[in-house]
Amino acid sequence: YGFDIESLQRSQEATISSQNDNILALILSISSMTLGVLRIDDILVLILSISSTTLGDFNS
């Protein structure tokens, strides 16, 4: 048919990852506005822990 399943899956994964980047950027901007008291490191650690758990759900 002119396309294989693997390339289709790769494009879907790329779309998902770019959406995740947009969400992370949104979370970061909101966090920096509302949680200016916290250090950026604390926010990054929080986001990393959240994203790693959601990624773990995808992989299993």
Domain ranges in the chain are: 5-59
Supply 48's token pair: 């990393």
Angle between helical axes of 40-59 and 5-34 (0-180°, round to 10): 150
Written as one letter, the residue type at 60 is S
pTM exceeds cut of 0.95: no
pLDDT in tens, 26-37: 877 777 766 555
CA–CA distances in Å: residue 59 to residues 13, 23, 42, 47, 52: 12, 19, 26, 18, 10
- The whole-number average pLDDT for the span 8-13 is 80
